[in-house]
Amino acid sequence: MIKTLRQYKKKIREKLLFVVALIALLLLVYMGLQYWAHNRDIYQFECKADAYNIDESLENGEIVNGDLLLELKVKRQHLVLTYYSIFDDDVHEFVAFEGDLQEVEVGSMTYNIEFEATDVELTPYSLLYPYLKTELEMGDNRLSYGYRFEQNFSVVKVDSMFNFMLIKFTPSNSLWGCEKING
C-alpha cells in the first residue's frame, strides 16, 4: 500500500513537472513572437492603385485617370505612412503621417498605430482628400498638420519570394497590395 502511494505521488509529480515545462515553453514562444513583432528593422513598401475621378463639371462627365500611391516605412515601432495622388503632370498631392505602434495582436498580425499628420500638401479641389476622408473615417474633421487618429492594419498575406505584402486597413476595410522596395 505504501509502495503504491509513493508510485502514485511520483506519477503526479512527473505529470505536474511536464505541465509546468509545457507552460514555460509556450510562454517562451509567446515572448519570442512578441519580441519579433516589436523589434523589426527598417522596411519600406510601396503600394499603387489606379485612381479615377468623374469630372462632373463637364457635360459628358469625363473620367480622369490617375495614380494613388501609398508608401509605408517601418522602423521598429515607428511608422511613416504617405499617400500620393497624381492625376495630371502639374497636380501632385500628398499627405504624410507618422505614428508609433500602440499594440500588436500577434495571432492576427494586426497593428494599432496612433498617427499624426506631419506634412499636408493638398490642392483647393483635392482629389486625394475625399479618398482619405473615407479611408481614415474622418467624419467632418479637416485634414491639416497635426491631425491625429488611430488606425489598425492587418498583414493579410506576405510573400517573401516576390517581396509582396497584402495589408488591410480597418475600420475602412481597404486592401493594399504592396511591394517591398528595400533589401
The grid coordinates listed for 27 are 510562454
Taking residue 124's Cβ as centre, other Cβ atoms within 10 Å add up to 4
In this prediction, residue 66 carries a pLDDT of 73
Using the 8-state DSSP alphabet, how is residue 163 labeled?
Answer: T
pTM of the model: 0.65
Query: Which of these ranges, 2-16, 33-47, 84-98, 102-116, has the smallest mean pLDDT?
Result: 33-47
Q: Which helix (H) or strand (E) holds 135?
A: helix 128-135
Cα 36-38-44 angle, rounded to 5 deg: 95
Q: Regarding beta strands 174-180 and 110-121, do their DSSP bridges make them parallel or antiparallel, or are they unpaired?
A: unpaired
> What percentage of the chain reaches a pLDDT higher than 70?
80
CA 95 to chain centre: 17
Q: What is the signed CA dihedral for 51, 160, 116, 122, rounded to 10 degrees?
A: -20
End-to-end, the C-alpha distance of the chain in Å comes to 69
Query: Which of these ranges, 76-85, 133-142, 164-173, has the smallest mean pLDDT?
Result: 133-142
In this prediction, residue 123 carries a pLDDT of 78
